[in-house]
Amino acid sequence: MDWLLRPEAAGEKIVVMVIAILLFAAVMALILFAVDRPKRISGTVVAVAFAGPAIILVTIGLIYPAILTIINSFKNKNGSAWVGLDNYSQAFSNPELLLVLRNTAIWVILVPLLSTALGLIYAVLVDRTRGEKVAKALVFLPMAISMVGASIIWKFVYEFKPNQPGVKQTGLLNQVIVWLGGEPQQFLSTQPWNTFFLIVVMIWIQTGFAMTILSAAIKAIPDDIIEAARLDGLKGMSMFRYITIPSVRPALVVVLTTIAMGTLKVFDIVRTMTGGQFGTSVVANEFYTQQFRQANQGLAATLAVILFVLVIPIVVYNIGQMKKVEEIR
């Protein structure tokens, strides 16, 4: 298989991909032909025929790598010897890795809460107003930008240059500070505030998602409930507190947990803007660094397992809430 890694083997790679696609198509065609025959075929055979390829692909692409990662987390840096729980001990005792875990916790707490809060407030303010579609499109627009693209945009916003004669600030934020008579700041290298400046980027992106989901939930509130509340004298903040919030609670839970899961895996923003330097690294960036920069396979696998374990409770809670909503419906 080494020939696939050679740059000059581009033509061979294309041929292999085409053959693989054709084989997969042929297998699926045979399956469809078999289950569509006039003769009676049991439901079990049909289910296995259709689900089998998907189960095989999931096993090869997801389950097997996950098991291998867990096994590697109990081995040394090159995977040649067992070290037990040493990697986990290091992950929860090394000051640098503890900083990584602290940063990840800050991200997971602030991003979902602030993104959801801003999205909800914005959805309520623009609901049924003139120019609602344009206002929502402007807030949702960052969702259409890739994480790397958004990071580059904000890196220019935070750009720093010394405040010297003849030197013009290329960073928007520092230019505004200079116009106001202040000194330009090194936003991306000043600890611990640089982590919060990175978090702003994620909030900017996710607020549009939260606004879209919550706006749909607000529009789904029955008109008779709103009219009854108005007849009872509710308006303004009282309407928001006693009618809007309880009515959109299921959507709030889904938005919070979905953003939390995405935030736990945040990698692009940190990697693009700081490379994890200046005390800004998070778990996803750190296991990439350990694996590909420091060649520490064991510790990288350990961090990946920790990230996986952190995501599981959120996923389980999210599924539970969705089931409750379906039961109510």
Question: CATH number, domain at 97?
Answer: 1.10.3720.10
Q: Is residue 85 in a domain?
A: no
Q: Is residue 232 in a domain?
A: yes
**What confidence score (pLDDT) does residue 120 get?**
93
* Count of domains for the chain: 2
Shared domain check, 54 and 162 = no
Closest CA to 211 of 137, 153, 263, 314: 137
Shared domain check, 246 and 131 = yes
Shared domain check, 96 and 67 = no
Shared domain check, 317 and 276 = yes
Shared domain check, 313 and 177 = yes
Give pTM, 2 decimals: 0.81
Phi, psi of 98 (to 5 degrees): -65, -35
Q: Is residue 130 in a domain?
A: yes
Q: Is residue 82 in a domain?
A: no
Enumerate residue ranges in the chain where pLDDT < 50. 1-5
Q: Is residue 61 in a domain?
A: yes
Q: Is residue 84 in a domain?
A: no
Alpha-carbon dihedral 65, 68, 69, 70, rounded to 10 degrees: 130
Shared domain check, 96 and 37 = no
Q: Is residue 77 in a domain?
A: no
Shared domain check, 307 and 174 = yes
Q: pLDDT per residue over 211-230, tens digit each? A: 999 998 898 888 888 888 88
Amino acid at 23: L
**What confidence score (pLDDT) does residue 207 get?**
94
Domain hosting residue 47, numbered range:
2-72
Shared domain check, 96 and 39 = no
Q: Is residue 80 in a domain?
A: no
Shared domain check, 201 and 65 = no
Q: pLDDT per residue over 246-257, tens digit each? A: 888 888 988 998
Shared domain check, 94 and 66 = no
Shared domain check, 186 and 300 = yes
Shared domain check, 172 and 123 = yes
